[in-house]
Every structure is written in structure tokens, then in C-alpha cells.
């Protein structure tokens, strides 16, 4: 249930095997939060942190920010801004793609990247 905390702890502990700079306290220090706070986040005692803090944690742990934000129950604010600029269009697109298989979405990405419109 505490997917965010579990994941952070797992990744941090893993990195710690080979680099003892990944103790809870040292990660907290680099991220700029109190060790107690990170402790409670990892154990799911508190709700996931803000987008900014989540990003810093992701960066320190070398994780994908969008993925960690998702585990925190959030969506990157820059993605939200993209949607807000053309809400109807993107709402339709996303709802249409909700059940599409991964490879279909990927092929759309590639197609758009190649700019064939």
C-alpha cells in the first residue's frame, strides 16, 4: 500500500550495499529534508512528499522522476501544463489510449518523433 516508501527504501538500500553514502541520513541531507521525515516516508507513515522533494529524491537515487512521482500519486507539473494548454485534445487522446497496449503507444511516440504529420 505504501508503494512510494517501499520503493525508495528498496532502491536506497540497494545502492547502499556498494556506497555507504546512501544511508537514510545522508540521502536526507543531500535532498534537504530531515532524516525523521525521510524515515517516515520510507515506512509509509506519512503521505508522499511534494513534487519538488520527490524530484530531488529521484535525482539522488538515480531514478526516473516521472515514475517516482507516479508512485507518489502525482503527475509532473510540466505534463499538466502541456495538457492544460489543449485540454480537450489531450483529454480525448489520453482516454483513447487508456487501454492501448504499451507497444501501440510507443509506436505513436516514434511516429510523432519522426514528424510524419
52 to 111, contacts with DNA by CB under 7 A?
52-53
Residue selected from 25, 84, 86, 110 as contacting DNA according to rule CB under 7 A: 25
Torsion sign over Cα 46, 51, 56, 60: positive
Are 18 and 28 in contact by the 8 Å Cβ rule? The answer is: no
Q: Enumerate binding residues for its own copies (CB under 8 A).
A: 64, 66-67, 69-70, 73-76, 78-80, 82-98, 100-109, 111-113, 117
* Cα separation, 33 vs 44, whole angstroms: 16
Give the residue carrying C-alpha cell 480525448: 92
The reply to whether 8 sits near DNA by the rule CB under 7 A is no
Residue selected from 3, 10, 14, 32 as contacting DNA according to rule CB under 7 A: 32
Amino acid at each position: 500500500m505504501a508503494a512510494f516508501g517501499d520503493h525508495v527504501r528498496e532502491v536506497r538500500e540497494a545502492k547502499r550495499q556498494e556506497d555507504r553514502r546512501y544511508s537514510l541520513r545522508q540521502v536526507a541531507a543531500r535532498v534537504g529534508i530531515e532524516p525523521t521525515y525521510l524515515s517516515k516516508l520510507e515506512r509509509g507513515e506519512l503521505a508522499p512528499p511534494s513534487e519538488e522533494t520527490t524530484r530531488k529524491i529521484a535525482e539522488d537515487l538515480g531514478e526516473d522522476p516521472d515514475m517516482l512521482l507516479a508512485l507518489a500519486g502525482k503527475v509532473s507539473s510540466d505534463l499538466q501544463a502541456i495538457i492544460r494548454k489543449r485540454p480537450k485534445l489531450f483529454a480525448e487522446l489520453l482516454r483513447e489510449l487508456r487501454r492501448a497496449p504499451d507497444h501501440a503507444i510507443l509506436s505513436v511516440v516514434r511516429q510523432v518523433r519522426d514528424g510524419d504529420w
